[in-house]
Structure 1
Amino acid sequence: VWEINLLEELALQIAIALQQAELYEKLQIANQELEQFAIEDGLTKLANRRHFDRVLDQEWNRCRREGKSLSLFLLDIDYFKQYNDHYGHLAGDICLQQVAQVLQNVIQRNPNLVARYGGEEFAVILPNTDSNGIVHLAEKIRQAVEALQVEHLKSGVSNYVTISIGVASLIPVEVLTPKTLICNADQALYKAKNNGRNCIVIAPS
């Protein structure tokens, strides 16, 4: 009898252990999903603004220590409000996803980061990339978005969806902050819009 009781007790312990292992695995998956949710934009699956801010600070500090350059793209979909008004918000969401996919396809090398910066605006962090490489990448992105040939009959610059890009690069030093880089890229983006859109403007170093 005691052998049967021992086997029953052993079987019970095994069942409990398996149940705990299954619960632990589910908890791990739930935690991973929660972590992903905390850093990811739900629509585009790119990094969200919170994660962008964190990574920019990290890369800023790293580049400052190593004396290396840090670059930033700010991109805006041209006449996106008009696109939304004409084609509807569902089409607008699809358009955002298509542009996000282009960015992911072009910007692949780590530790580069592509993020949805807000609304129809995207950001790309590019540590330790030379000036020629920066210009080439920006132009590659611009051309790739236009090559999608997403119809945009309410655009003031093309019959297709296009983007404007502001580019800024600098070597981080003590007297500057990440906001300096953002401000420079934002001013370059503003100039790109004033220059007719569907173009790239590089901020003075």
Structure 2
Amino acid sequence: MADIDHFKAYNDRLGHIAGDHCLKQVAWALSAALMRHVDTLARYGGEEFAAILPETDESGAVAVVTRMRNAVKALNIAHPASETESHVTVSLGVAAMIPGPDAHTLQLIENADAAMYRAKQLGRDRYALYSQTLRN
């Protein structure tokens, strides 16, 4: 899960046209960071994006989110309304699921979302891995 940091402030300060342009550029950068044809990126809502990385272990997922974060930074989109950075950044959450009868997609999304919010709590412009302690 990826979320553009302080996007509401960006939109409020620069307007919806600039916000839409920013969303498109970030979506392109996040998509470009995916290396396999089976990997998928989708806008999940607002300024959030979800990436599905089938048959990817934790180290592979970390490599992908690191590329995503770097790709967004490389856009160097000015963010005059950010409280933390002078340019647009993303916070990312990583969660994994082993396919099987007990695997639930909604739980995977909730876990990735919890990890993303942990990344935001830690200062934004970073990724966090899901662990059970995030639920406690």
TM over 0.5: yes
Q: CA deviation at 1:179?
A: 0.8
Count of aligned pairs between the two proteins: 132
Q: Which one has more relative contact order, counting CA pairs under 8 Å at least 6 apart?
A: 2
Separation of aligned partners in 2, 1:183 and 1:89: 28
Aligned equivalent of 1:186: 113
Separation of aligned partners in 1, 2:98 and 2:86: 39
Of Structure 1 and Structure 2, the greater helix share is in 1
Q: Percent identity?
A: 47
User: Aligned partner of 2:52: which letter?
Assistant: I
Q: CA deviation at 1:108?
A: 3.7
User: Aligned partner of 1:113: which letter?
Assistant: T
Q: CA deviation at 1:176?
A: 2.9
Q: Of the two, which has the highest radius of gyration? A: 1
84, 88, 96: which one pairs with 2:15?
Answer: 88
The one-character-per-residue Cα deviations of 1:91-117 (angstroms, maximum 9, x if unpaired) are 000000000111221114121111010
Q: CA deviation at 1:174?
A: 1.6
97, 112, 127: which one pairs with 2:39?
Answer: 112
User: Which runs of structure 1 show a deviation greater than 6 angstroms over 4 or more consecutive aligned residues?
Assistant: none
Q: Unaligned 5+ residue runs, structure 2?
A: none
User: Aligned partner of 1:83: which letter?
Assistant: Y
Aligned equivalent of 1:128: 55
Alignment of 1:174 with 2:101, yes or no, is yes
TM-score under structure 1 normalisation? Answer: 0.62
TM-score under structure 2 normalisation? Answer: 0.92
Aligned equivalent of 1:143: 70
SS in 2 for 1:169: coil
Q: Unaligned 5+ residue runs, structure 1?
A: 1-73
Aligned equivalent of 1:78: 5
SS in 2 for 1:187: helix
Aligned equivalent of 2:27: 100
Alignment of 1:164 with 2:130, yes or no, is no
Greater shift in the superposed pair: 108-117 or 155-164: 108-117
